[in-house]
Each structure stands twice: as C-alpha cells, then as structure tokens.
Copies of this chain bind each other. A is one copy, B any other.
C-alpha cells in the first residue's frame, strides 16, 4: 500500500539491527514528517561516516585520520594494551575511566565453525606491537563467551612464547555489581567463586 520510495526506506531501515518492520515504518513516517534539512542531515551523516571513517593504522579502532584519537594521545600509556573484539567494545571500557593505556581491536573472535581463523583477525599486528619492546602488559578484554575465551587463550599462548616478559591478563568474571545471587547463572557464579578475593 505504501508508495515505492516509502517502501524502500522502510526496507532499508528494517535492515538495521533490532529494528523490526513496525519500528522501521514508524521511523520512516517520522522522516517523512520532519523537514528536508533534518532528514538529509541523517543521510549526509551516513554518507560521511562511510567516506571518512577508516581503521587506525596502529590499533584498528575507528579513526578519521591515519591514527585514532587514543593512539594520538600522548597521555595514554603505550605500555599497556587492552585487546577487544570489536570497535564497539572500546567505548564501554573508556566509560569506566579505569583504563589509561592503548587498545587493539581484533575485528572479531576466533570461531573455526564460522570460518574465523587467526589470520582473519588483527593478531599478527598485535604480536608485532607487543614485540616492539615498549609493551609491559596485554589486558585481554574479549567477551566472556566461548569464542571470546578461546581467542583470549590463543593470544595468551602465543604471547607467552614470543614475548615471555610481557604480562598477559584477562578481565575478571563474576557477579555483576547490583546483581542478585538468585538470578546468577551457574557459570558466572562458579567464576565468582574461583575468582574470590580476601576482604582486606
């Protein structure tokens, strides 16, 4: 029933993650209602991001210059590298204000079933950075999932062999703050036990 251009917009919006058919329609109708300037600002922002954003040549985070803001920032400690799966993982870590080092974005996690092998990730680039001599610690912050864990162990194994003096750490697993024991799954609760610390 919709005019073809409207239907096309609904289809394209519906391809976005978490946007169903109804929501896509609502968004399309919103864009039809607002003035041309506001709607085109969104279209321009999409085009510009695809045109100007690339991967940082050092850490593969998003960048609009050859190097990302964090790699350019002299105040960030180059001796500690936090390894994450996707560029979307950098922001949550930054929000904690706990980490003042640099990043390395792998571009995914190892998953042989899905055909993701070591050479599909930015692993060689990570090892080269660590072998550069400046790095003292690699914090592996891949997701606490099967593939994330496998990736963490793979990296730890390689680094232990190639750069035995560099510490390789992993983010702690355990109960989420504000969570409830009653609702914790057994794996998380098990991790919380094995990772228990003395109260000081």
A contacts, CB < 8 Å to B: 1-6, 8-9, 11-13, 15-19, 23, 25-32, 36, 38-50, 52-53, 62-64, 68-70, 86-88, 90-91, 94
Contacts and interface: CB of A to CB of B under 8 A. Distances in A.
A87 B32 contact: yes
Given A1-B91, A27-B17, A40 B49 contact: no
A3 B63 CA distance: 6
B64 A41 contact: no
A52 B3 CA distance: 10
A26 B36 contact: no
Given A32-B87, A91-B25, A9 B63 contact: no
A32 B4 CA distance: 26
Closest 6 CB pairs of A and B: A3-B64, A43-B46, A9-B45, A43-B43, A12-B42, A12-B45
